[in-house]
Chain A
Amino acid sequence: MEHEELIEKHLQNKLSSKERLEFKKLLESNPAFKKEVSLHTNLKKVVEHEDDTNFKNLIADLEKNTTQKQPNYSYTKWLIAASIALLFGLTYFLNTSQKISTDQLFAQNFEPYRNVVAPIVRSDNQQDDKTRAFMAYEKGEYEIAISLFTKLYSETKEPYYLFYKANALLKLERAKEAIPLLLEHLKTKDTLTKKTNWYLALAYIKLKEKKKAKELLKKVVDDKSYKSKEAKKLIDKFE
């Protein structure tokens, strides 16, 4: 039998037992044949893969159309308009109510971590940037603190500046900017790193990314250290 036909039958599972033997023999003895078989086998996989993807897309398109398939046009138009209005109303309502709840959760749980790096002594004459930064932080002048922390971090690369800057940002409800700093801080290992997950979780709560927040809170609980009780309570509120 011709090689091509043999491969063809092999691909479609139609070899007789006699042909299967011949196929096997050729595969062992003839490298060119082996190469050819491998090409066809690969091609089969590829074409099947492509065909599956196309079919899945076709089905997805059909499914999409089901929402638009309405029988009676003249009044369904109104119906559609009404449902859209309702939908908007509902999404607005749901969003705002959700916003309140995550915002509330954030507000109830967040407070900037206290200054443990540079305890401020009132009589301290040494008004260096570091002292000024933490003084601003303690006084609640977060904008000033943030710019000083930024400067100090670029100069010293001390990881705790990341942590405090993130805290200040969170206080100013700039969670989006705080997240990259906290993630960066997590990569370092200072005494504060253990606390970072908690603040990162709160940042995600602020951004309504509940799933990410929950994962982090679980970590906090598992660590059994800083804020693990609060984290557990928060998780329960999510359920």
Chain B
Amino acid sequence: MEKKDIKALVLSNPKEISRLYYGNRDPFLNFGKKYGLSFDDLSDIYQEAFIALRKHAISGKLDTVNSSLKTYLFGIGKFMIFDLLKEKKKTTSYESSLHVTDETIEIVPFENTTEELTIEQHLLRTFFKKLGKKCQEMLTLFYSRGLSIDEIVEFTDYTSNSVVRSQKSRCLKTLKEMIKS
């Protein structure tokens, strides 16, 4: 996959995300139509699939993927479509739709793992939300997006490695003080 697409997903800049999201939406809805799902089902699936795609980008899974963003996204979507069809199996005949052939799109399995926060983590979350916007951004880049200090320098306005480091430790210090008090 193209580096710039992965980067756009990881950084999740709303403008870039909007471009990628709208750019693939209609084609996906068209692609999904042949499985006999409703428009509402398909647009729900598209949203889920897009969210999953970003997760794969952040976890580094996409770095070794050869297919394009579109094909990969459709692959996740297709997995979800089959999942939903299986669920609906009792009420509708889904066998027929499984024979729809589109060898071009390879299914990409996706596991939905959303863990609930513990009580301790909930508390930490309230502290985190009290931090300034800069700090939240910095910690998000590091902890959630998995960017290294060097990458943060590369992708943001921070000028050097040491600036990033000192900013990050300042943020952590503020957070720890909140925990103590």
Contacts and interface: CB of A to CB of B under 8 A. Distances in A.
A43 B121 CA distance: 7
A57 to B, nearest CB: 11
A14 B27 CA distance: 38
Interface in B134-156: 136, 139-140, 143-146, 148
A62 interface: yes
B61 interface: no
Interface in B84-101: none
B17 A49 contact: no
Contact of B140 (A4, A11, A50, A63): A50
Interface string A31-64: 0000000011011111111111001101110110
A151 B146 CA distance: 67
Contacts, number: 73
A42 B124 contact: yes
A47 B117 CA distance: 11
B115 A59 contact: no
B175 A55 contact: no
A62 B17 contact: yes
B54 A55 contact: yes
A16 interface: no
A43 B136 CA distance: 11
Contacts of B136: 50
A63 B47 contact: yes
Contact of A60 (B47, B114, B124, B143): B47
Contact of A56 (B22, B51, B117): B51
B130 interface: no
B145 A58 contact: no
Contacts of A56: 51
B110 interface: no
A51 B128 contact: no
A63 B43 contact: yes
B21 interface: yes
Chain B interface size range:
20 to 34
Contact of A12 (B47, B115, B129, B146): B146
A184 B148 CA distance: 59
A55 B12 contact: yes
A66 interface: yes
A50 B140 CA distance: 9
| A-B pairs with lowest CB-CB distance, top 7 | A51-B144, A47-B143, A48-B144, A44-B143, A47-B144, A46-B125, A46-B124
Contact of A62 (B21, B140, B169): B21
Given A12-B148, A50-B144, 9 more contacts: A39-B176, A39-B179, A43-B139, A43-B143, A48-B143, A56-B51, A58-B14, A59-B51, A63-B47
B161 to A, nearest CB: 13
B7 interface: no
B120 interface: yes
Interface string A59-73: 110110010010000
A46 B117 contact: yes
Interface string B46-69: 010011001000000000000000
Contacts of B129: 50
